[in-house]
Copies of this chain bind each other. A is one copy, B any other.
Amino acid sequence: MSTTTSTQIRLARRPVGEPADSDFTTDTVGLPELGDGDVLLRTIYLSLDPYMRGRMSDAKSYAAPVEIGAVMEGSTICEVIESRAENRPVGTYVLAHTGWQSHGVVPARQTRRLDPAAAPISTAVGVLGMPGFTAYAGLLQIGRPQEGETVVVAAAAGPVGSAVGQIAQAKGARSVGIAGGAEKVRILREEFGFDEALDHRSPDFVAELKAATPDGVDVYFENVAGTVGEAVMRRMNTYGRVPVCGLVADYNATAPREGAEPGPSLMRRILTQSLTVRGFIQNEFVADHHEDFQREMGAWVSDGTVKYREDVVDGLENAVDAFRGLLTGRNVGKLLVQVGEDPSR
């Protein structure tokens, strides 16, 4: 019988604009006893991802919002510390979806076993997890970059953007990364090897974007939107492709952005340039492409073709602040909260 408690971060009310500390409560609750097939998990890492902002709101989206009073959703890397499932003995590392909490009881079938010898367990929520697959599937299935084409991605120092640029290069395309600040631009060039790296905070950003894309843009992987996205859209070539997987810059928006391109003007651009603008959530591609991803991306990560960075914030109590930073571009690489010790390191 489990006597373990879990410290949980719950949604207290729906944030207006940027999430505030007061939009959440922290509670410690007793966990239910394990049923047959269940496991008790100790959270090692909590993954923070931009999609979570959508779950905090009740606007129509591709997934139901988190209910008021419920534990915030999220993917976690955990260790099994008590088990009533044969295939998940104590000590097993798993990918789970137990959310913003220190412990959880779930059916073992809702977890995926991780092999710490194959890759660091944290990569299962990063370059070899959902963000990496978002980059892989969106770029290759929708963007379809051809050799010599120009691929642009913003939030390029993040886990999706950095993978997009490196996969584009692996497929023979030119990669142009956009990020905020000189340090991130340096990382794009020196660590991730982008062909061109631009700082969207530069007063000459539009001119620099033009200079970095002398042949226009064939694929714009849209994960930020805002004025940066609009500037890139103006550089699209005929038959350009725009996979849309996120609009982070507008996630906190409470009112229409001043000076935003009107819809009719966007539609005219789509028409006159014969663009393909395609929204997607990575789930759609899992059945057909996740195996290829694991094989191909696993090899690229192993041999250094695709590099990744992690930004690990210590302690569940810092999750809300870290999440705010994620939406404003404070971190570099995959953002993780270290909730408990990682014995596999």
Contacts and interface: CB of A to CB of B under 8 A. Distances in A.
A247 B264 contact: yes
A205 interface: no
A263 B264 CA distance: 8
A255 to B, nearest CB: 10
Each complex incorporates copies of this chain amounting to 2
B279 A284 contact: no
Contacts of A246: 271
A contact residues, range: 35 or more
Contacts of A263: 230, 260-263, 265-266
Contact of A62 (B266, B274, B280): B274
Contacts of A250: 264, 267-268
Query: What is the interface of chain A mostly: helix, strand, loop, or mixed?
Result: mixed
A253 B264 CA distance: 10
A269 B279 CA distance: 8
Interface in A271-300: 271-281, 284
30 contacts: A60-B272, A62-B273, A62-B274, A222-B267, A230-B263, A250-B264, A250-B267, A250-B268, A256-B262, A256-B264, A256-B265, A257-B262, A257-B264, A260-B262, A260-B264, A262-B262, A263-B263, A263-B265, A263-B266, A269-B279, A270-B277, A270-B279, A272-B279, A273-B279, A274-B278, A274-B279, A276-B278, A276-B279, A277-B277, A278-B278
Interface of A: 60-62, 222, 225-226, 229-230, 238-239, 244-247, 250, 253, 256-257, 260-281, 284
